[in-house]
Structure 1
């Protein structure tokens, strides 16, 4: 074995890319952009460079993620990268505000109106969070985990303890949408029978499998009862379709801390009880209910979104 073989082992990392409107409350200037255009927007941002932006929907999550570096004992293990349609001129206020709020963001891409989705993969990001559904769809189509942050009341303070809690839907998020397609075509009885018969066949991975793997690798650096990251699967599945999910995660070698099989019950109250910092789901109805309780990312992937786009 070469003497420098240990140096070739990749460092366990989690990289999250985020847009400026997901990180900060830019509602006022965005309205100006939509009503008066890019020149008025630029003038406004330059004139207000000294006014620090207030936290947006994803700010508490980003703050807690970046605080994990202190627990990990190494700067940059968890990295947040700013990807923005702003120009460098208008983006200056965003970066200045990030540093004012104590966010150690060192890398950014300001694309001057073009979609920044191409840089998600270039930066090696495991997740892209944006307020722009077009950018999110482009990133998903390029094979990156991405979600549209839904509007919510701006946070007034960080909530909960230092542990980061991330909740996922199963089908079309962690897993592919093949089982969801069968359910929509044939109904619950056929779906349950099929999933029971295929219980020992792992489900194909969905767009967020890579993110879950990255989180699991960070979790593995800590004892299970002392991890600063906690995950939950919150799914409408119930028995007997639960078994295939459990066996799939086992086959992948991925630990999920909590698994809630709700059998069709509304997810919102359970997400509040889990105290999720963010929840990802492919179905708009679930997201609309969840965003009243927790920060919510819509994942426009799978058959549920094909149906929605055709209506």
Structure 2
């Protein structure tokens, strides 16, 4: 009988997102598979250092200890072969991570295996794999940035922060803002605040996170799993966000409507184990203080097509100036 994971959060994390394998990746790029294989075999008893997603994974797995039933599964997904993956397996054991499922594809893309492992969230440093997963719409996925140098979780609670438009919600509103301007955006959002926003690539993940919160004990309403929205939206467009979450049956612990203020200070104060955003302008700063992941636009997104068109026009104009 197949295992039912419908009520369990399943996170697929690449070995480079879980552990710091940047030196090893450089060896692979410069010396090829033979040099990489030799290096990994010579160092397979030397544990890897934690990567960007390590604290998130560790803290998520801790949730199982207090929950009424198992609510989190983590799958290590790697393009290593089983042979070169021995060091990864040893590191999982050394850190006592409760991980039993692993996928070693021997150089093949990992995206086709998302369905096979029932993945809800895929974290990777491979842009092609992340883009393929986003385009398939089978799972939430993000490209993981380098780890912040001084990040340390403030407590054992899991803290996950999301941008709103083009992450939790569709990119329709952001497209309107970019094409019609701020005034038209605010007017439309205010006029339609009772109409739920469309689901974005992380909507189903948010809904599942909200459901597993129900399996966790709370102390004075403080859940061991805290969810925050950190968005550039502000009044009057904030009401549509709140009412959409209510329609979805989602409880969000914290929300910050910044109206264009920098997000990094809020994220640092929140102590996010990870922050998901779609825009480089925000991630460049947030990734310095908290683990961060970029959510790419789907290849068929009207917003992406508009942005690509703008880049082409800008390039043509630059050539004319030359």
Q: Once the 2 structures are TM-superposed, how far is the Cα of residue 305 of structure 1 from its aligned partner?
A: 5.0
2:139 counterpart of 1:139: no
Task: Report Cα offsets for 1:91-124 as digits up to 9, x if no partner.
Answer: 1110111111111110011111111111122211
Please say if residues 282 and 304 of structure 1, whose CA atoms lie closer than 8 Å, have aligned partners that are also in contact. no
Please say if residues 14 and 79 of structure 1, whose CA atoms lie closer than 8 Å, have aligned partners that are also in contact. yes
**2:29 pairs with one of 26, 31, 34:** 34
2:225 counterpart of 1:229: yes
Please say if residues 19 and 84 of structure 1, whose CA atoms lie closer than 8 Å, have aligned partners that are also in contact. yes
Which whole-Å CA distance do the structure 2 matches of 1:90 and 1:10 have between them?
29
Task: Report Cα offsets for 1:67-102 as digits up to 9, x if no partner.
Answer: 11111154x421110111111111111011111111
2:295 counterpart of 1:291: no
Residue of structure 1 equivalent to 2:314: none
Q: 3-state SS of the aligned residue for 1:146?
A: strand
Residue of structure 2 equivalent to 1:174: 168
Please say if residues 57 and 154 of structure 1, whose CA atoms lie closer than 8 Å, have aligned partners that are also in contact. no
2:251 counterpart of 1:255: yes
Count of paired positions: 302
Question: Taking structure 2 as the reference length, what is the TM-score of the superposition?
Answer: 0.89
Q: Once the 2 structures are TM-superposed, how far is the Cα of residue 306 of structure 1 from its aligned partner?
A: 4.8
Please say if residues 283 and 305 of structure 1, whose CA atoms lie closer than 8 Å, have aligned partners that are also in contact. no
Residue of structure 2 equivalent to 1:5: none
**1:211 pairs with one of 197, 205, 209:** 205
Please say if residues 25 and 154 of structure 1, whose CA atoms lie closer than 8 Å, have aligned partners that are also in contact. no
Segments ≥4 residues shifted beyond 2 Å: 8-12, 152-156, 221-224, 302-311
Name structure 2 gaps, 5 residues minimum: 312-322
Which whole-Å CA distance do the structure 1 matches of 2:184 and 2:110 have between them?
42
Which whole-Å CA distance do the structure 2 matches of 1:16 and 1:84 have between them?
13
Cα distance 1:19–1:152, how it changes in 2: closer, same or farther (>3 A)? same
Question: Taking structure 1 as the reference length, what is the TM-score of the superposition?
Answer: 0.92
Please say if residues 122 and 141 of structure 2, whose CA atoms lie closer than 8 Å, have aligned partners that are also in contact. yes
Name structure 1 gaps, 5 residues minimum: 1-7
Cα distance 1:81–1:52, how it changes in 2: closer, same or farther (>3 A)? same
Please say if residues 149 and 288 of structure 2, whose CA atoms lie closer than 8 Å, have aligned partners that are also in contact. no
Residue of structure 2 equivalent to 1:95: 89
Q: 3-state SS of the aligned residue for 1:225?
A: coil
Q: Supply the RMSD in Å over aligned alpha carbons.
A: 1.9
Q: Once the 2 structures are TM-superposed, how far is the Cα of residue 193 of structure 1 from its aligned partner?
A: 0.7
